[in-house]
A and B are shown apart, each in its own frame.
Chain A
Amino acid sequence: MKRFDESGRLPRLAACAAAVVIAVTACGSSTTSSPTEQKPPTANMKPLDSIGTGEGALNLIDWPGYVDKTWTQPSTASFEQQTGCKLNVHDAQSSDEMVSLMANGGGGQWDMVSASGDADLRLIYGGDVRPVNVSLIPDYQNFDDYFKNPPYNTIDGVHYGVSLQWGPNTLLYNKTKFANPPTSWEVLYDQANSGLVTVYGYPIQIADAALYLSKKNPSLKITDPYELNQQQFDATVNLLKQQRPLIKKYWGAAADEISLFENGDVMVGNAWPYQTNQLVSDGKVQVADTIPQEGATGWGDTWMLATKAPHPNCAYQWLKWVSTPQVQAEQALSFGETPVNKLACAVMESHSPGSCKQYHADASSEYFSQIKFWKTPIAQCGNGSNNCVTYDKWVAAWTSITA
């Protein structure tokens, strides 16, 4: 072995290397823009009248698992064969990453994004997505009425995408620890559970606390957890700061939360049905989930079309394909979420009896009224006033809560 006669030279190299790493953060995206317009910048773009020949490729940004090669009935391979559109998929880890990806580089790399409601308005008002002609999607007629024009993707009757799936943010708990099933979000703020709690580690989690406060403290007059004035917002942030000492860890990816529960590090937290399904099928710990009496936040996902999409015809082929009952059912079962196409229920039952009810695909309007779907907090409150706390303030507050 060569003796390290020159080992002293290494540090100088390392010092330079460290500086290079720091420099990589530099970016020079530069577009000047005026403050928030009332009307989305792409509102007057005319959507396609008919679907033409495919362009041979389709570049998608998705939630991990949303474009899954393991699907079989039908498979993504069969989509590629039928349409000649080759799928290039990028998995994003958060709504915020989706917005970042769509906004950076001037667009033009991506055709579509499976954005959740908390990202949609940012994409729409950022001019990153364009109107979609829903009459070209035959299965649109079979959607549950709520998801034909949900407020997070449809503005003034213009559709900026086609609804895909939805799900609630449930209260997940360890059945051994909680012999009496909790019925309120209270457990996440209870000193008795110090060090046993996990919640979602992104700014939109503030809405969960606001929803709880809307019932717990009616004098604050919170009607919509995404439309908070300064006083309501401060009270919510305060509650979350009190919650922080109880938190073992803020979870980012679903897999993180699953291992936190399986290793016994946490006993209760907020979760997606996906985690519950995985934990139940793993069988290492006894868990259950519930929608507490205060209701729950939820997410509704939408396939949106990029303003500068290079393959619009393939994009419409994709919209048609993901809206069919078969694909809706396949995705719902593989991800543990609820399809927006009402016809998917029967297909789910044929694959896995009981699944339609398990995933609330037959949900009544009463169930819906419990769920406040994610949407981007913007200055305009629903009541016409313009003093609601905007999303960038949510992000800053979240940094100070979790730091």
Chain B
Amino acid sequence: MGGRLDVDHGLTPSTTIDRGPRKSGGALPFQALLWRLPWLRSTVLLLPPLAWFVIIYLASLALLLITAFWAIDEFTTKIVQVWNLDNFQTIVSDPIYRLIIGRTVLISVLVTITDAVLAFPFAYFMARVASRRTQTFLFAAVLLPLWASYLARVYAWILILNHDGVLNWGFRSIGLPSPNIGYTNVAMWLVFSYIWLPFMIVPVYGALERLPDSLLEAAADLGATRWRALRDVVLPLALPGVIAGSIFTFSLTLGDYITPTLIGGAGSSFLGNVIFNNIGVSNNLPFAAALAVVPIAVMGVYLFVAGKLGAFEAL
């Protein structure tokens, strides 16, 4: 990212013609200093965002990591500052946490795949087939749900999926048995896929929209069928967009705890629920902090792989 900082190229002293000592009558000393020392100017400009980043973000992350190595007094739940690895040991050794981590990651992967499969044809149509008018309309249709509250949309799904809900009623009215998927992991997968779909469509659309027509024409000239062109030209060039979108859908699902609470049934706990319970129910901040390291690690691995696949070069 560093390369983008030197936006002030044309104004640095090195490129001005008059390099001689200048006695500027009205300028304040500080302004003169800024003029002479371009690095100082950048520093002053960057200081507020940098301070925000370091103090608010990095410092709290560091505190989180430190807290993970502490413990609590079992009865009063006050934090005891004794360094130990017990929290991490519990996460690794207790099968229940492996189960929950596995479930969270698995559903995040399933949601990501589902959204990628749904988003690709939609984004392709939007970017390369639809007229300008239709495109505008489709964009509004994709983004409109984001205007409504997350909770309102999740509760709407409860009304659809519950025992006397629209889904069961619809199946019954055409003579099929009720699927009865309310309060199950299947319901969670469905709702997550719905909620995060726009976050996949937009980057995939971005990637497809920049695809030069000339490449497809060249493929056609060289005798490629439409399917061959899709496979060998469109898909590879759209892949960074899909991966960029998958970072959204994967990380958003990985960190969510509201949908599992509302849509999930017995045996639907996500990592976020266990973290929430450790803070809100047992007041065990150190263990919650240790658990919070897990999604950070998972996302770290994910971003590393995404980087290898070129998700960031296409930005």
User: Which A residues are closer than 8 A to B by beta carbons?
Assistant: 1, 3-5, 7-12, 14-15, 18-36, 93-94, 96-97, 99-100, 103-104, 122, 125-127, 202-203, 244-245, 247-250, 252, 259, 263-265, 378-379, 390-392, 395-396, 399-400, 402-403
**B299 and A19 contacting across the interface, CB-CB below 8 Å:** yes
Residue of A nearest to B282 (CB): A395
The complex places the Cα of A249 from the Cα of B158 at a distance, in Å, of 13
Question: A250 to chain B: which residues have CB within 8 Å?
Answer: 266
- Provide a sorted-by-A list of 14 A–B residue pairs whose CB atoms are within 8 angstroms: A3-B209, A4-B206, A12-B312, A22-B299, A25-B279, A27-B289, A30-B79, A35-B73, A97-B281, A127-B76, A203-B281, A249-B266, A396-B282, A402-B267
Residue of A nearest to B248 (CB): A14
User: Given A7-B202, A29-B285, A122-B76, A265 and B163 touching (CB < 8 A)?
Assistant: yes
Question: A31 to chain B: which residues have CB within 8 Å?
Answer: 78-79
Question: A12 to chain B: which residues have CB within 8 Å?
Answer: 312, 315
When the two chains form the complex, which single residue of B60, B61, B162, B275 contacts A265, counting CB atoms closer than 8 Å?
Answer: B162
User: Given A248-B183, A252-B261, A403-B269, A24 and B136 touching (CB < 8 A)?
Assistant: no
Residue of B nearest to A403 (CB): B269
B278-315 interface bits toward A, Cβ cutoff 8 Å, 1 = contact, 0 = none: 01111111001100100110010001000000011011
B119: interface (CB < 8 Å): no
Q: In the complex, which range does the number of interface residues on chain B fall in?
A: 35 or more
**A33 and B74 contacting across the interface, CB-CB below 8 Å:** no
**A26 and B266 contacting across the interface, CB-CB below 8 Å:** no
Known: A14-B251, A249-B264, A265-B182. 13 other contacts (CB 8 A): A8-B315, A19-B299, A25-B64, A25-B275, A25-B289, A26-B62, A26-B67, A94-B280, A97-B281, A103-B76, A249-B265, A392-B72, A395-B284
**B61 and A33 contacting across the interface, CB-CB below 8 Å:** no
B59-99 interface bits toward A, Cβ cutoff 8 Å, 1 = contact, 0 = none: 01111100100001111111111000000000000101001
When the two chains form the complex, which single residue of B79, B163, B183, B280 contacts A100, counting CB atoms closer than 8 Å?
Answer: B280
Complex interface residues of chain B between 194 and 241 (CB less than 8 A to chain A): 199, 202-203, 205-207, 209-210, 240-241
**How far apart are A348's CB and chain B's nearest CB, in angstroms?**
34
Question: B248 to chain A: which residues have CB within 8 Å?
Answer: 11, 14
The complex places the Cα of A24 from the Cα of B75 at a distance, in Å, of 26
B150: interface (CB < 8 Å): no
**A96 and B205 contacting across the interface, CB-CB below 8 Å:** no
**A35 and B209 contacting across the interface, CB-CB below 8 Å:** no
Question: B164 to chain A: which residues have CB within 8 Å?
Answer: 263-264
**A96 and B281 contacting across the interface, CB-CB below 8 Å:** yes
The complex places the Cα of A14 from the Cα of B164 at a distance, in Å, of 38
When the two chains form the complex, which single residue of B61, B79, B247 contacts A11, counting CB atoms closer than 8 Å?
Answer: B247
Question: A9 to chain B: which residues have CB within 8 Å?
Answer: 315
B12: interface (CB < 8 Å): no
Question: B205 to chain A: which residues have CB within 8 Å?
Answer: 4, 7
**How far apart are A233's CB and chain B's nearest CB, in angstroms?**
15
**A14 and B247 contacting across the interface, CB-CB below 8 Å:** yes
**B67 and A248 contacting across the interface, CB-CB below 8 Å:** no
**How far apart are A241's CB and chain B's nearest CB, in angstroms?**
11
Question: B303 to chain A: which residues have CB within 8 Å?
Answer: 15
Question: A11 to chain B: which residues have CB within 8 Å?
Answer: 203, 244-245, 247-248, 311, 315
Q: Which of A33, A125, A252 has the most CB of B within 10 A?
A: A33
B277: interface (CB < 8 Å): yes
Question: B314 to chain A: which residues have CB within 8 Å?
Answer: 8
The complex places the Cα of A364 from the Cα of B255 at a distance, in Å, of 50
**B202 and A36 contacting across the interface, CB-CB below 8 Å:** no
**B74 and A392 contacting across the interface, CB-CB below 8 Å:** yes
**How far apart are A400's CB and chain B's nearest CB, in angstroms?**
4
**A402 and B269 contacting across the interface, CB-CB below 8 Å:** yes
**B63 and A10 contacting across the interface, CB-CB below 8 Å:** no
Residue of A nearest to B270 (CB): A403
**How far apart are B66's CB and chain A's nearest CB, in angstroms?**
8
Residue of A nearest to B293 (CB): A22
The complex places the Cα of A20 from the Cα of B99 at a distance, in Å, of 26
Residue of B nearest to A400 (CB): B96
B252: interface (CB < 8 Å): yes
The complex places the Cα of A264 from the Cα of B63 at a distance, in Å, of 46
**B280 and A403 contacting across the interface, CB-CB below 8 Å:** no
When the two chains form the complex, which single residue of A18, A19, A96 contacts B283, counting CB atoms closer than 8 Å?
Answer: A96
When the two chains form the complex, which single residue of A1, A21, A126, A245 contacts B76, counting CB atoms closer than 8 Å?
Answer: A126
Residue of B nearest to A256 (CB): B262
The complex places the Cα of A36 from the Cα of B73 at a distance, in Å, of 8
**B64 and A403 contacting across the interface, CB-CB below 8 Å:** no
B179: interface (CB < 8 Å): no
Complex interface residues of chain B between 158 and 213 (CB less than 8 A to chain A): 158, 162-165, 182-183, 199, 202-203, 205-207, 209-210
**How far apart are A7's CB and chain B's nearest CB, in angstroms?**
3
**A103 and B269 contacting across the interface, CB-CB below 8 Å:** no
**A36 and B265 contacting across the interface, CB-CB below 8 Å:** no
Q: Which of A248, A390, A399 has the most CB of B within 10 A?
A: A399
**A264 and B283 contacting across the interface, CB-CB below 8 Å:** no
Residue of A nearest to B180 (CB): A195
**A103 and B78 contacting across the interface, CB-CB below 8 Å:** yes
**B202 and A10 contacting across the interface, CB-CB below 8 Å:** yes
Listed from nearest, the 5 A-B pairs whose CB atoms lie closest are A7-B206, A26-B64, A11-B244, A247-B266, A126-B76
B57: interface (CB < 8 Å): yes
The complex places the Cα of A134 from the Cα of B295 at a distance, in Å, of 50
User: Given A3-B209, A125-B76, A264-B164, A10 and B266 touching (CB < 8 A)?
Assistant: no
When the two chains form the complex, which single residue of B73, B136, B162 contacts A263, counting CB atoms closer than 8 Å?
Answer: B162
**How far apart are B122's CB and chain A's nearest CB, in angstroms?**
14
**A263 and B163 contacting across the interface, CB-CB below 8 Å:** yes
The complex places the Cα of A97 from the Cα of B63 at a distance, in Å, of 22
**How far apart are A49's CB and chain B's nearest CB, in angstroms?**
29
B139: interface (CB < 8 Å): yes
Question: B60 to chain A: which residues have CB within 8 Å?
Answer: 23-24, 26
The complex places the Cα of A310 from the Cα of B199 at a distance, in Å, of 47
**How far apart are A44's CB and chain B's nearest CB, in angstroms?**
18
**A392 and B282 contacting across the interface, CB-CB below 8 Å:** yes
The complex places the Cα of A379 from the Cα of B292 at a distance, in Å, of 29
Question: A97 to chain B: which residues have CB within 8 Å?
Answer: 280-281
**B67 and A27 contacting across the interface, CB-CB below 8 Å:** yes
**How far apart are A259's CB and chain B's nearest CB, in angstroms?**
8
Question: B72 to chain A: which residues have CB within 8 Å?
Answer: 392
B113: interface (CB < 8 Å): no
B118: interface (CB < 8 Å): no
**How far apart are B310's CB and chain A's nearest CB, in angstroms?**
12
User: Given A11-B248, A24-B60, A27-B67, A94 and B281 touching (CB < 8 A)?
Assistant: yes
